[in-house]
A and B are shown apart, each in its own frame.
Chain A
């Protein structure tokens, strides 16, 4: 029973927002100590596993080229592309963004983000489309469009990224299972991520079509009232 104290440390540490690295290390060491593993063996397991899992941090070698491309306007060009989306409704703008963002994630392209894309670009476009279509958008509708805009980024990022065979999530699955002597291959794991990637996108399409319908319904009601 005592060995569960590590899980408790993790829970409390993450909830209290202590530094996650410190929380994880403390949890590991305390769990080892209360279970009667001596400290040298604990350090050895820690170090050996860390060296064995260096592949999880192999994305480091992609950083120089990505940084270089940023220097030469990678982000600025992506902004131009997104601005060129010609779409008539809020929902469709968000669907198109989700599609390209998810595709980029599947190719491990770190292009996206709430600060970089949703706030300055995607949300203003979705909001603008609604204003153009329905003249006046009330505060509640405005809030919903904001929520859906931020959500589009999360859906695409979360469920697209593991389609890439060297994604962090894929390697975490490979590495964790390896500690239980279960061997899986990254490429196969990433292929197994495909159904969820597709279904998540389909769900996002449905949600955004529903958004368009809802906005339309709200406003036809208002026009009918105004006419009556």
Chain B
């Protein structure tokens, strides 16, 4: 049951990507309409038919979209939503009611995840999105054609980076097959005493923060550090994976707060606010990030074991 519903959800998600592809093709001012359309079109097709195609064929398709992205041929273009004056007028008219569909997504997802455990949060997210769409259409009397248009517009503005979490997990799988984890744990086995839980926890949290600071991306750090430190020094010692896993990720976020490598979060905001010191945002965040990182170590040590 759950698998069938999920497969339908993937089809809907794939259709949003296909809509983005069509939007890019129709956008007369788009710098790379064909390449961008190919990227989202292939991505959409993987969602629609991925289950029925051999893995290595999908692998080739991923290389193709990877090359398109690497050549910077996947971009946003010039799709517009309604005029500002129209948006302001409609915001005035709808008032706070406009938040109802937006909150519906989250509320439905929570309710399904909590009370229909056999379906889980992903199906909940899908139901939430569908119900929210219906509520939004009834409320705004929007034309149905706006649905694919606006979905495609937003996906184009999110951009190619949207596929990164999936790629990083695939990278983790490749690392795993290649035995990268064993090599790292062997190499640092001399530094981190075997069988010492606290040492493992500290290494995992600090490793996440440091690696995130170097790379500017906690998601990428998570795949690497979990393979190298998390599995051999924390999970293998009997940590609750649910708790230790998410704490490791947010320990990485503490690193994000402290690094200029995370330009979108720390450098660009300083620039748009015209700060005198271009590291001002990081300076402001430093004390909190540091305190929170220590908190992570304490929480992981006490809650996960």
Task: List A residues 165-211 near B (Cβ within 8 Å).
Answer: 165-166, 168-173, 175-177, 179-180, 182, 184-190, 192-193, 195-196, 199-200, 203-204, 207
A196 to B228, CA, bound (A): 24
Q: Which residues of A contact B110 (CB under 8 A)?
A: 164-165
B273 engages A150 (CB within 8 Å): yes
The answer, among B136, B161, B222, B257, for a CB contact under 8 Å with A65, is: B136
B70 within 8 A of A: yes
A143 to B167, CA, bound (A): 39
A64 engages B151 (CB within 8 Å): yes
Chain A residue nearest to B161 in the complex (CB):
A20
Chain A residue nearest to B149 in the complex (CB):
A67
A15 within 8 A of B: yes
A149 to B94, CA, bound (A): 29
Taking beta carbons and an 8 Å cutoff, which residues of A are in contact with B? 1, 3-4, 6-7, 10-11, 14-15, 18-22, 24-25, 27-29, 31-32, 34-35, 37, 40, 42-51, 53-77, 80-81, 106-109, 111, 114-115, 118-119, 123, 139-140, 143-144, 146-151, 153-155, 158-159, 162, 164-166, 168-173, 175-177, 179-180, 182, 184-190, 192-193, 195-196, 199-200, 203-204, 207
The answer, among B17, B180, B281, for a CB contact under 8 Å with A150, is: B281
The answer, among B88, B91, B231, B276, for a CB contact under 8 Å with A180, is: B231
B224 engages A58 (CB within 8 Å): no
The answer, among A6, A24, A48, A66, for a CB contact under 8 Å with B167, is: A24
Main secondary structure of the interface of B (DSSP, over half): helix
Task: List B residues 80-135 near A (Cβ within 8 Å).
Answer: 81-82, 87-92, 94-96, 98-99, 101-103, 105-107, 109-110, 113-114, 117, 120-122, 124-126, 128-130, 132-133
Q: Which residues of B contact A177 (CB under 8 A)?
A: 226, 241, 245
A147 engages B284 (CB within 8 Å): yes
Q: Which residues of A contact B69 (CB under 8 A)?
A: 19, 21-22
Main secondary structure of the interface of A (DSSP, over half): helix
B273 engages A20 (CB within 8 Å): no
B120 engages A186 (CB within 8 Å): yes
A45 engages B284 (CB within 8 Å): no
A192 to B304, CA, bound (A): 10
B250 engages A60 (CB within 8 Å): no
Q: Which residues of A contact B9 (CB under 8 A)?
A: 58, 61
Nearest CB of A to B43, in Å? 8
Task: List B residues 1-40 near A (Cβ within 8 Å).
Answer: 6, 9-10, 12-14, 16-17, 19
Q: Which residues of B contact A180 (CB under 8 A)?
A: 176, 226, 231, 235
B191 within 8 A of A: no
A147 engages B103 (CB within 8 Å): no
Q: Which residues of B contact A158 (CB under 8 A)?
A: 250, 253, 256-257
The answer, among A65, A189, A207, for a CB contact under 8 Å with B101, is: A65
A139 to B285, CA, bound (A): 19
A182 engages B235 (CB within 8 Å): yes
Q: Which residues of B contact A186 (CB under 8 A)?
A: 113, 120-122
The answer, among B167, B175, B177, for a CB contact under 8 Å with A50, is: B167
Chain A residue nearest to B299 in the complex (CB):
A195
Q: Which residues of B contact A204 (CB under 8 A)?
A: 288
Chain A residue nearest to B133 in the complex (CB):
A65
A54 to B225, CA, bound (A): 23
Nearest CB of A to B69, in Å? 4
B78 within 8 A of A: no
Query: Given A151-B285, A158-B257, are A57 and B163 neighbors across the interface (CB < 8 Å)?
Result: yes
A3 engages B183 (CB within 8 Å): yes
B164 engages A21 (CB within 8 Å): yes
A88 to B199, CA, bound (A): 46
Query: Given A14-B216, A24-B164, A31-B180, are A162 and B250 neighbors across the interface (CB < 8 Å)?
Result: yes
The answer, among A43, A61, A76, A119, for a CB contact under 8 Å with B13, is: A61
Nearest CB of A to B179, in Å? 6
Chain B residue nearest to A34 in the complex (CB):
B178
A162 to B248, CA, bound (A): 12
A58 engages B10 (CB within 8 Å): yes
B246 engages A66 (CB within 8 Å): no
Q: Which residues of A contact B166 (CB under 8 A)?
A: 49-50, 53-54, 56-57, 175
Q: Which residues of B contact A196 (CB under 8 A)?
A: 246-247, 250, 292, 295-296, 299
Chain A proximity mask over B219-253: 1 for CB below 8 Å, otherwise 0: 11011101010010001000001110111111001
B81 engages A70 (CB within 8 Å): yes
> What are 9 residue pairs bridging A and B, where the CB atoms are less than 8 Å apart in the complex?
A14-B261, A68-B137, A71-B90, A143-B276, A159-B250, A172-B169, A172-B222, A180-B231, A189-B246
The answer, among A7, A187, A203, for a CB contact under 8 Å with B113, is: A187
Chain A proximity mask over B62-75: 1 for CB below 8 Å, otherwise 0: 11011101101000
